[in-house]
Amino acid sequence: MAKAKSAFVCTECGAEYSKWQGQCSSCREWNTLTEVRLSTSRAGVAPATGGRSGYAGAVSREVIDLAAVDLSEVPRFSSTFGEFDRVLGGGLVPGSAVLLGGNPGAGKSTLLLQVACKLAQQRSALYVTGEESLSQVAMRAHRLQLPTQGLKMLAETSVETILGVAERERPQVLIIDSIQTMHLEDIGSAPGGVAQVRESASALTRFAKQTNTVLLLVGHVTKDGTLAGPKVLEHMIDASLLLEGGADSRFRTLRGQKNRFGAVNELGVFAMLEHGMKEVKNPSAIFLSRTEEQAPGSLVMVVWEGTRPILVEVQALVDESALGNPRRVAVGLDPNRLAMLLAVLHRHGGLFTGDQDVFLNVVGGVKVLETSADLAVLLAVVSSLQNRSLPRELVVFGEVGLSGEIRPVPSGQERIVEAAKHGFTRAIVPRANAPKSSPTGMQVIAVDKLAEALEAL
């Protein structure tokens, strides 16, 4: 019998140590080291000798000159969902490992089951479920009215068994639902632990690289919204996607957090309907479902998500505070940036909100991560503070600096064109983003300072 070995792994950064210590020397976090019991034999499979060629970048054992490396692009194939392909950077790459995370009920299993059933009509696919029985999966597929012919199913949690079946079936797409339920026989810990998740993902990823199989892993998230399991799991995979959406909303957003084959922060939008996930090709249309009566504090801004502009509505509510420390609440935006923008508004706009509660909300559940929303946020706050409605045909974007200047943002002209397509006729933008010739019917107001933007209202 092989002699058991153990190591201590940090659950935050993945650093390894030979003995336990209170603080991780890499990330400086306390009490994050967990013992991982390993054996000298690791689960895995030998490199494929026949069939599809191996993943050269991962399993090549020959030393070659960098100039001799074949630069031909790895052929991608569609996942059958345009929004899914967009987030992936153009489609699925053979030999890649993709991790799909999300809250319980977000629709991870539903989305991947739809992908698997549609892909099985063109390619070989193996769907491994460790959380449900085969009858439960079949009932869901029947309810969603999916084509079930050709999709191979396996209800198993043992990685060794899964690898044996995959070696025999040789699927082009392998889906594991979920990685937290998988386990290796020679790892002496419960499924879902640091050791099991780490070694199971490593064995499955190694198989995908050696056989040019597309590996799709389902991962759960913790209460703070991060993927459960060791941090080193994110370094093993090629792409990490997060499916977001509350139980009170039928819309789901798929955002790329890491992608070795495309741009990060790309956004895909889906609608959860009776027959499963349906992609939303025009997200601006659903985020602009506004009421007929224009209310103070409501304004439309243009944000850039990945490779396309999206129009979203931001709402602000400013009310007199009954507390000694007024509240600053932002849903969909960074609360710290809101506090900074309010200070800029006071210093360079002459409007004081220190005795007011300020609430901010981005309609539709979208999380805005870029700074182009600064100017729209401030103008919405001013509208609510002075109880004056802004024109419905007005759209705003621009970054606000600490000295009150309005800085340009990337792809400014594309944002203006997108706003014009949706019927907006006025835009307040940074001067550097103002086009030489405005789109037909669009009046562009270019500003350099916050005071100019306030006067333009």
CATH number at residue 326: 3.30.230.10
Q: Pick from 231, 266, 281: which residue ends a domain?
A: 281
CA distance 272 to 196: 32
Residue 104 in marked binding region: yes
Mean pLDDT computed over every residue of the chain: 86
pLDDT > 70 fraction of the chain, expressed in percent and rounded = 89
pLDDT at position 434, please?
92
Residue range 59-65: average pLDDT? 73
DSSP, res 4: P
The whole domain housing 389 covers 286-456
pLDDT at position 57, please?
45
pLDDT at position 17, please?
86
pLDDT at position 162, please?
96
pLDDT at position 194, please?
78
Do residues 293 and 386 both lie within one domain?
yes
Residue 262 in marked binding region: no
Confirm whether 317 is domain-assigned. Answer: yes
Do residues 234 and 347 both lie within one domain?
no
CA distance 220 to 179: 8
Q: For residue 263, is pLDDT > 50?
A: yes
Do residues 212 and 198 both lie within one domain?
yes
pLDDT at position 307, please?
82
Q: Pick from 240, 259, 281: which residue ends a domain?
A: 281
Confirm whether 66 is domain-assigned. Answer: no
Count of CB atoms within 10 A of residue 170's CB?
A: 16
- pLDDT tens digit sequence for 284-324: 877 776 666 788 999 999 999 888 899 999 999 999 998 88
Do residues 18 and 86 both lie within one domain?
no
Do residues 96 and 113 both lie within one domain?
yes
3-state secondary structure of 267: strand
Name the token pair of 66.
């960098």
The phi-psi region of residue 265 (left if phi > 0; otherwise alpha if psi is between -120 and 50; otherwise beta) is left
Characterize the bridge pairing of strands 5-10 and 16-17.
Answer: antiparallel
Residue range 259-274: average pLDDT? 88
Confirm whether 86 is domain-assigned. Answer: yes
Per-residue pLDDT band at 345 (split at 50, 70, 90): very high
Confirm whether 16 is domain-assigned. Answer: yes
Residue range 53-61: average pLDDT? 48
- What are the Cα distances from residue 336, in Å, to 27, 123, 174, 343, 369? 24, 48, 42, 11, 12
Residue range 69-79: average pLDDT? 80
Residue range 422-441: average pLDDT? 92
Q: For residue 115, is pLDDT > 70?
A: yes
Q: For residue 353, is pLDDT > 80?
A: yes
CA distance 343 to 398: 17
pLDDT at position 43, please?
43
| DSSP string for 111-173 | HHHHHHHHHTTTS-EEEEESSS-HHHHHHHHHHTT---TT-EEEE--BHHHHHHHHHHH--SE
CATH number, domain containing residue 168:
3.40.50.300
pLDDT at position 28, please?
85
Confirm whether 129 is domain-assigned. Answer: yes
Do residues 106 and 208 both lie within one domain?
yes
Please tell me the least confidently modeled range out of 176-180, 209-213, 260-264, 420-424.
260-264
Q: How many domains does the chain have?
A: 3
Residue 102 in marked binding region: yes
pLDDT > 90 fraction of the chain, expressed in percent and rounded = 58
Do residues 273 and 301 both lie within one domain?
no
Confirm whether 330 is domain-assigned. Answer: yes
Query: 321 with 355: CB under 8 angstroms?
Result: yes
Query: 203 with 184: CB under 8 angstroms?
Result: yes
pLDDT at position 283, please?
85
Confirm whether 2 is domain-assigned. Answer: yes
Please tell me the least confidently modeled range out of 4-8, 166-170, 453-457.
4-8
User: In which element (H, E) is residue 399 found?
Assistant: strand 399-400
- The arrangement of strands across the sheet holding 33-38 comes to 16-17, 5-10, 33-38
- 229 vs 66, residue with greater confidence: 66
Name the token pair of 306.
């990945």
Name the token pair of 141.
């597929």
Residue range 67-74: average pLDDT? 74
Residue 107 in marked binding region: yes
Do residues 4 and 149 both lie within one domain?
no
Residue range 96-113: average pLDDT? 91
Do residues 109 and 145 both lie within one domain?
yes
pLDDT at position 45, please?
44
Residue 282 in marked binding region: no
The phi-psi region of residue 357 (left if phi > 0; otherwise alpha if psi is between -120 and 50; otherwise beta) is beta
Confirm whether 53 is domain-assigned. Answer: no
pLDDT at position 1, please?
46
Per-residue pLDDT band at 169 (split at 50, 70, 90): very high
Q: Which of 75, 319, 34 is nearest to 196 (CA)?
A: 34
Do residues 277 and 374 both lie within one domain?
no
Do residues 132 and 270 both lie within one domain?
yes
- Alpha-carbon dihedral 114, 118, 124, 128, rounded to 10 degrees: 10
- pLDDT tens digit sequence for 231-257: 667 788 999 999 987 666 788 889 888
Side-chain-side CA neighbours of 433 within 13 Å: the count stands at 26
Name the token pair of 160.
């060794």
Do residues 244 and 380 both lie within one domain?
no
Residue 109 in marked binding region: yes
Gap between the terminal Cα atoms of the chain: 78
pLDDT at position 136, please?
95
Per-residue pLDDT band at 42 (split at 50, 70, 90): very low
pLDDT at position 52, please?
43
- 123 vs 35, residue with greater confidence: 123
CA distance 133 to 154: 9
3-state secondary structure of 308: strand
CA distance 253 to 283: 10
- pLDDT tens digit sequence for 363-383: 877 889 889 999 999 999 999
